[in-house]
Amino acid sequence: MSKGQDMKKEAKKKPTKTLKEKQAEKKAKKETRVH
């Protein structure tokens, strides 16, 4: 839980990533979880 919160905080601090990059990260995470 804390890890997810930290990631959210960092995202708010520096929103350098684009929406597409964020979506790509979510996809990658889902794929890694399945494997």
Cα–Cα dist 10/20, whole Å: 17
Say what percent of the chain tops pLDDT 90: 0
Instruction: Enumerate residues 6+ apart whose C-beta is below 8 A from 11.
Output: 17, 22
pLDDT digits (tens, 9 = 90+) for 1-35: 466 666 666 656 666 667 888 888 899 888 887 76
Domain of 23, in residue numbers: 2-34
Per the prediction, the chain carries an average pLDDT of 74
Global pTM reads: 0.39
Q: How many domains does the chain divide into? A: 1
Give the model's pLDDT for residue 1: 47
